Amino acid sequence: GVPVTRDHLASLNDDQRRAATAPAPQLLLAGAGTGKTETLARRVADLILNGGEQPDRLLCITFTAKAAGEMRLRLASVLAPDQMPRWVGTFHAAMARLLMEDGAGLPCLARGFSILSPGDARSLLMQVAGVTDIKDGSQLQEAVSLLRNALATTEGKRPRSAALLGCDPEILERATALVPAYRAALADREVVDFDDLIVLPVLGMRADPALADRWSGRWSEILVDEYQDTNLAQHALVRLLAGDRRRVFAVGDDLQAIYGWRGADVAHIRNFASDYRMPGDPLRLEINYRSSPTILRAANAVGANDREAMRKTLRPADPARPAGVSIAIREVATAEQEGRGAVGWVQALRKAQADLAWRDCAILVRAGFVSEPIVKALQEAGIPVRLVSERQPDAPKEVLAVIAWLRLAMSRSIGEGETQEQWQAVADDAFRRCCAFPARGIGGSLFRRLRDHATDRGIALAASVGSVEASDAERDRLLAVLAIARRIGDAIAGKRLGVPASLRLAAEYSGIQDRLRDDGQGRLTQAWTACLQAAAGAGSVRSYCDSAGLDDVPGETEVPDAVQVMTLHRAKGLEFDHVLLAGLEEGVWPNWQAEKRDAVPEERRLFYVGITRARHSLRLSWVRQRRSWDAKPSRFLDEIPRSLLESAAPAFASSKRADHGAPARMAAPPTQAETDRLVAAFMARRTAASAGPQ
Ligand code: ATP
Ligand code: MG
């Protein structure tokens, strides 16, 4: 027979290999850059190649859609296409899929349900609550989300999570009272919000042991990256899906726990061993393959100030690796100068290294408002820049409809030797969207009849078109939808088109193309172009359809070549050659409310996350006067050992100070009113964004 290949484990060190092959339940607890994610990927490959596991029996949960894309790429390098697991994605994407494929057991879930965007979910919540102010709506939405993710509203337990304790009690009370009416409104409209994707399965499995049995039998092992940032609902979900076998492989780093404000709790990783009755201690890794010795020493020094985290010292993989360039701290007068400083930084790096790609430079910020002047300065200097937003803005309905047509078309299969075509229920939501757009007179009552019919027979909506009770005219309209989907599917199969070309074809055949051209502001053209660009990075049409519409960056696996600007929360798990951490001021980082909320340690862990993203060089900058307030340097700057800092640090700052002519004022923290305004504006945007899948 064919010799068993062990190639997929060959690049791992001994500890990593042990972790990749140890029986589950297993917890791998290790510091940044030690290869946790790498080990997890290799474990998936090993389970399939050596363990004889069916690829679809593995559920692999990543933290962001981007991370899911990277995971698929890593897997594709060692697995053949037919060995690739389908269930690789964020909690939200995986559960959306499960509910679409097999959600019929949940009482509050309609077939062909659709998922509300966070913006639409907020509008609905505001309607239910009778509030009109966006800021109030955002606050309520955040509180409702925290409550539901803490499973607090349904369990009658006192909220326990730190995030809930930090919430305004009055808002919490209002939110608690709102949840039932909000849920009813969602159910009424046959939609779910992002939290539902996690919370409904948990409640469903708890209430219905048969459902729990069925679902926990689907996967033989569940692998979860970044476990330190799971909230209670996610933790409960994994526990339920793991069932009696308890086969969970979790990796994490308690020193990188940064989602306490969203209800995540490191207790889940600390209690993993007892929850899963794991024999022995968690596995460890100590060798860091990512960063220069200088950067590692800075990370170790900052990490040592976290009193709660388990001790983990990072060692460089190659003891002979030169210490690397010193860490630079830049003090500048204004936010605009911080932007110009970022331009100078990137230009100098490119000058020093001609083949450096833009995308290898990243600028990471604590809060979105810090990045605005930086992005502006980079754009003005003609430097390609990519602002990785917390979530992609909601795509217009035209674009979503094109994706739906493609998904519907791809959900049809024709069995070998059969004449009968089959439609999969996973595309029920796509079918619903296709019936609605472009409009062809398929009304609510016809649709409900179709759905009841499909539910009774346990078949896909598209498969019930032939047998549903309907007038000739009604059936013709439904058949027209299927005919178009068939044409799209056949054309793609015949021409072996790539993903962007398939999308274009779906747009043309469905008649949406003309509507994509322009709406006066170019908004549609822009969204459509972005969609096609993202699709260009997806592997196959099939894998695109598996994740499109579910992940926040549909199918994107390739990063365009541009300087990357993002918040620390988005940068989790990523790495870059050169990293600039901007906005290191008291009040910004740590955030002005951190002390009150007991969140300084979490702010420090964010700093730790930021430092450990860098491979070769690290620069930190802070602004003396941001908007209208005088700022002090962040206390975290003092935690970097002096010996690691560049000695010639003040040159840039002092020359700018001379330029500016403004005398250095006494540093004072921002006034309450100033920060309130800024933070409120920022929060309104972030809340809308953060309710989405991570
Ligand atoms: P984080 O905590 O930031 O998520 P991590 O522990 O998940 O980090 P990875 O991202 O898996 O670390 O790995 C960090 C880098 O080290 C990657 O570039 C990876 O390819 C590389 N790496 C991991 N293990 C090895 C190894 N055995 N040999 C060489 N390079 C490795
Ligand atoms: Mg990782």
265 Cβ inside 6 Å of ligand 1: no
* Phi and psi based region of residue 226 (left: phi greater than 0; alpha: psi -120 to 50; beta: remaining): left
Mean pLDDT of 354-358: 93
33 Cβ inside 6 Å of ligand 1: yes
- Cα dihedral across residues 540, 546, 548, 554: positive or negative: negative
Centroid of ligand 2 to alpha carbon of 318 (angstroms): 20
Tokens of 481: 């939808």
Q: What DSSP assignment string belongs to 330-384? A: EEEEEHHHHHHHHHHHHHHHHHH-TT--GGGEEEEESSHHHHHHHHHHHHHTT--
Annotated binding-site residue? 680: no
Residue in this structure with the two tokens 């004449």, named with its chain if needed: 419
Mean pLDDT of 583-607: 90
Write out the H or E segment, with its range, that includes residue 604. Answer: helix 600-611
Choosing from 16, 17, 28, 38 the residue with most ligand 1 atoms within 8 A of its CB, the one to mutate for a pocket test is 38
379 Cβ inside 6 Å of ligand 1: no
Choosing from 8, 29, 37 the residue with most ligand 1 atoms within 8 A of its CB, the one to mutate for a pocket test is 37
Centroid of ligand 2 to alpha carbon of 573 (angstroms): 4
Centroid of ligand 1 to alpha carbon of 39 (angstroms): 8
Task: Place 660 in a pLDDT band, splitting at 50, 70 and 90.
Answer: very low
Centroid of ligand 1 to alpha carbon of 35 (angstroms): 3
Give 420's DSSP letter: -
Annotated binding-site residue? 65: no
Residue whose CA lies nearest to ligand 1 atom number 31: 289
Report the distance separating Cα 54 and Cα 48, nearest Å. 6
Convert the pLDDT of each residue in 36-56 to its tens digit.
Answer: 999 999 999 999 999 999 999
Report the distance separating Cα 593 and Cα 602, nearest Å. 12
- Nearest ligand to the CA of 571 is 1
Please give the single-letter amino acid code of residue 648: A
Centroid of ligand 2 to alpha carbon of 598 (angstroms): 27
616 Cβ inside 6 Å of ligand 1: no
CA 13 to ligand 1: nearest atom: 27
**What is the predicted pLDDT for the residue at 205?**
94
**What is the predicted pLDDT for the residue at 550?**
55
Centroid of ligand 1 to alpha carbon of 16 (angstroms): 10
Annotated binding-site residue? 33: yes
Report the distance separating Cα 477 and Cα 483, nearest Å. 10
Convert the pLDDT of each residue in 278-297 to its tens digit.
Answer: 988 999 999 999 999 999 99
- Nearest ligand to the CA of 572 is 1
Give 667's DSSP letter: P
118 Cβ inside 6 Å of ligand 1: no
32 Cβ inside 6 Å of ligand 1: yes
User: Given a cut of 90, is residue 444 above it in pLDDT?
Assistant: no
289 Cβ inside 6 Å of ligand 1: yes
Angle between helices 472-495 and 397-410 (to 10 degrees): 80
* Phi and psi based region of residue 587 (left: phi greater than 0; alpha: psi -120 to 50; beta: remaining): left
Task: Place 548 in a pLDDT band, splitting at 50, 70 and 90.
Answer: low
Long-range contacts of 482-489 (CB under 8 A, 24+ apart): 484/405, 484/434, 484/509, 484/510, 485/405, 485/408, 485/409, 485/412, 485/434, 486/409, 486/412, 486/421, 488/405, 488/406, 488/409, 489/409, 489/410, 489/412
- Cα dihedral across residues 115, 116, 117, 118: positive or negative: negative
Task: Cite the DSSP H helix spans in 109-266.
Answer: 118-129, 134-149, 152-155, 162-165, 169-188, 194-207, 209-216, 232-242
Task: Name the pTM for this structure.
Answer: 0.80
316 Cβ inside 6 Å of ligand 1: no
Annotated binding-site residue? 45: no
290 Cβ inside 6 Å of ligand 1: yes
Convert the pLDDT of each residue in 551-591 to its tens digit.
Answer: 443 334 456 789 999 999 989 899 999 999 999 999 999 98
CA 289 to ligand 1: nearest atom: 16
Among 644, 581, 576, 568, residue whose Cα is nearest residue 609:
568
546 Cβ inside 6 Å of ligand 1: no
Q: Is 211 within 8 Å of 204 (Cβ atoms)?
A: yes
User: Given a cut of 50, is residue 651 above it in pLDDT?
Assistant: no
Centroid of ligand 1 to alpha carbon of 201 (angstroms): 33
Tokens of 364: 């990471």
Annotated binding-site residue? 351: no
Annotated binding-site residue? 185: no
CA 288 to ligand 1: nearest atom: 16
**What is the predicted pLDDT for the residue at 659?**
36
Convert the pLDDT of each residue in 181-220 to its tens digit.
Answer: 999 999 888 889 999 999 999 999 999 999 999 999 999 9
DSSP, collapsed to helix, strand or coil, labels residue 223 as strand
Report the distance separating Cα 380 and Cα 340, nearest Å. 10
Q: What is the ipTM of this complex?
A: 0.99
User: Given a cut of 60, is residue 694 above it in pLDDT?
Assistant: no
Report the distance separating Cα 626 and Cα 657, nearest Å. 14
**Sequence-separated (6 or more) residues with CB below 8 Å from residue 358:** 346, 383, 384, 385, 561, 562, 563
Annotated binding-site residue? 243: no
DSSP, collapsed to helix, strand or coil, labels residue 386 as strand
Among 522, 553, 589, residue whose Cα is nearest residue 387:
553
**What is the predicted pLDDT for the residue at 391?**
56
In the structure, ligand 2 is a single-atom ion and the residues with CB under 5 Å from it are: 36-37, 573
**What is the predicted pLDDT for the residue at 555?**
38
Among 528, 513, 603, residue whose Cα is nearest residue 567:
603
Centroid of ligand 2 to alpha carbon of 36 (angstroms): 5
Annotated binding-site residue? 30: yes
Residue whose CA lies nearest to ligand 1 atom number 14: 33
Centroid of ligand 2 to alpha carbon of 647 (angstroms): 33
Residue in this structure with the two tokens 């964020």, named with its chain if needed: 90
- Nearest ligand to the CA of 28 is 1
Centroid of ligand 2 to alpha carbon of 63 (angstroms): 9
- Nearest ligand to the CA of 289 is 1
User: Given a cut of 70, is residue 599 above it in pLDDT?
Assistant: yes
Residue whose CA lies nearest to ligand 1 atom number 29: 289
Centroid of ligand 2 to alpha carbon of 574 (angstroms): 7
Report the distance separating Cα 108 and Cα 190, nearest Å. 9
Report CA Rg, the chain: 26
**What is the predicted pLDDT for the residue at 654?**
36
11 Cβ inside 6 Å of ligand 1: yes
Q: Is 252 within 8 Å of 227 (Cβ atoms)?
A: yes
User: Given a cut of 90, is residue 246 above it in pLDDT?
Assistant: yes
CA 34 to ligand 1: nearest atom: 6
* Phi and psi based region of residue 439 (left: phi greater than 0; alpha: psi -120 to 50; beta: remaining): beta
Q: For the chain, what is the mean pLDDT?
A: 84
Mean pLDDT of 335-360: 95
DSSP, collapsed to helix, strand or coil, labels residue 282 as coil
Report the distance separating Cα 671 and Cα 38, nearest Å. 45
Among 40, 160, 149, residue whose Cα is nearest residue 88:
40
13 Cβ inside 6 Å of ligand 1: yes
Q: Is 396 within 8 Å of 523 (Cβ atoms)?
A: yes
Q: Which percentage of the chain shows pLDDT scores above 90?
A: 49
Convert the pLDDT of each residue in 85-105 to its tens digit.
Answer: 989 988 988 998 898 888 877
